[in-house]
Chains A and B, each alone.
Chain A
């Protein structure tokens, strides 16, 4: 279908049909008479028929064809108004499904708490969560399999938006009987002679390596794991130190053993945690509201 008339032309046409003159329509629509006149003749050209008889005595009267076409134009305008209303309902209300992909390394610390407080405040939003690596968050947003990603500002590609929530300084995670456990702060040089438990996930491991590269130190990687819970328990059981940005609220490893967290001094800027989204997603009220909620709950 190739239509070259516009909704505006239809709107002018139906208004002239109702008021019976261009001058009256001009006052009602607050549009100049010549603009309305031009729109009418363009519409008549496009439809290939005269819509109005321009007789002085009766003002502008619809032709037989004009009567049929104006009735249809009214239906189209009503449908167009409905489309706008529907779009408003969909995007303006804080409602609907919200698919959240959270970075697997800290999902267990933040997501359940965020969801509970958000879903209590906005019961019309149904959040579903998945735990993903950084590349999978990027891919999920691009394929529209998730609406929002909760992650770090690491290697964020240009086609996605990053909305910062807060910056997180790095900590060294250790067993309480580790040789470095009683220090107030630590540097990469302090860590160099000790064994490390590496959280070996895409981009995360690059991020940890950047600390050592900046200090031109090579870490002694003793253990690798793709599971943050395993990394905690390995550290708590003396298999090495690890570097984290999110500290759990309690300081116990998943196996119940205690851990200590010591600030890591580094020239690298602290990492930012925030919401990742595809372009335009934040126009949805539910998504923008979730971001505000994250900033309120997690920001400091």
Chain B
């Protein structure tokens, strides 16, 4: 149930390209840190977005490092299909 609730919340953040993704990033940081991940934030140079790495386990070769981006491409105002 917790998974579905988290997915609901993750897709509900309005992170369409021209908007800030920082509220979503903060939300994920909380989730990761509650699950014993380290989650260093890598701010984008223009300040309204950030990327997040998720690290777990010892910091050695072969450790876990997850990375994903949160950008959502808007469906309006473009010709791509």
Please indicate whether A and B come from the same complex rather than being unrelated chains.
yes
Chain A positions near chain B (C-beta within 8 angstroms): 21-23, 32-35, 37-38, 40-41, 54, 56, 59-60
Contacts of B9 in A (CB 8 A): 32-34
CB within 8 Å for A37 and B24 given contacts A32-B9, A32-B12: yes
A-B contact pairs, 26 of them (CB 8 A): A22-B23, A22-B26, A22-B27, A23-B30, A32-B8, A33-B9, A33-B13, A33-B23, A33-B27, A34-B12, A34-B14, A35-B12, A37-B13, A37-B14, A37-B23, A37-B24, A37-B27, A38-B12, A38-B13, A40-B23, A41-B14, A41-B19, A41-B20, A56-B41, A59-B26, A60-B26
Instruction: Give the CA-CA distance A35 to B12 in the complex, in Å.
Output: 7
Fill in one digit per residue for B1-15: 1 if any A CB lies within 8 Å of its CB, else 0.
000000011001110
B32 within 8 A of A: no
B interface, size bucket: 10 to 19
Instruction: Give the CA-CA distance A23 to B27 in the complex, in Å.
Output: 7
B54 within 8 A of A: no
- Count CB-based A-B contacts (< 8 Å): 44
CB closest residue in chain B, given A22: B23
Contacts of A60 in B (CB 8 A): 26
User: Which of A23, A32, A38, A41 is in CB contact (< 8 Å) with B26?
Assistant: A23
Contacts of A33 in B (CB 8 A): 9, 13, 23, 27
Contacts of B20 in A (CB 8 A): 41, 54
Measured CB to CB, the closest approach of chain B to A261, in angstroms, equals: 73
Instruction: Give the CA-CA distance A41 to B24 in the complex, in Å.
Output: 12
Question: Are the C-beta atoms of A56 and B29 separated by less than 8 Å?
Answer: yes
Contacts of B12 in A (CB 8 A): 32, 34-35, 38
8 A-B pairs closest in CB distance: A34-B12, A37-B23, A54-B22, A34-B13, A33-B27, A23-B30, A38-B14, A56-B41
Instruction: Give the CA-CA distance A104 to B66 in the complex, in Å.
Output: 85
Instruction: Give the CA-CA distance A274 to B20 in the complex, in Å.
Output: 62
Instruction: Give the CA-CA distance A208 to B9 in the complex, in Å.
Output: 70
CB closest residue in chain B, given A45: B19
Instruction: Give the CA-CA distance A20 to B78 in the complex, in Å.
Output: 38
Contacts of B22 in A (CB 8 A): 54
Instruction: Give the CA-CA distance A38 to B13 in the complex, in Å.
Output: 7
Instruction: Give the CA-CA distance A59 to B41 in the complex, in Å.
Output: 13
Contacts of A34 in B (CB 8 A): 9, 12-14, 23-24, 27
Contacts of A21 in B (CB 8 A): 26
Instruction: Give the CA-CA distance A54 to B22 in the complex, in Å.
Output: 7
Contacts of A23 in B (CB 8 A): 26-27, 30
Instruction: Give the CA-CA distance A35 to B13 in the complex, in Å.
Output: 7
Instruction: Give the CA-CA distance A60 to B24 in the complex, in Å.
Output: 13
The winner among B8, B12, B26, B30 for most chain A CB atoms within 10 A is B26
Measured CB to CB, the closest approach of chain A to B16, in angstroms, equals: 11
Instruction: Give the CA-CA distance A40 to B27 in the complex, in Å.
Output: 15
Measured CB to CB, the closest approach of chain A to B66, in angstroms, equals: 18
Contacts of A38 in B (CB 8 A): 12-14
CB closest residue in chain A, given B27: A33
The winner among A33, A37, A38 for most chain B CB atoms within 10 A is A37
CB within 8 Å for A54 and B41 given contacts A32-B12, A37-B14, A38-B14: no
Fill in one digit per residue for B39-79: 1 if any A CB lies within 8 Å of its CB, else 0.
00100000000000000000000000000000000000000
Given pairs A22-B23, A23-B30, 5 additional interface contacts (CB within 8 A) = A34-B23, A38-B13, A40-B23, A41-B20, A54-B20
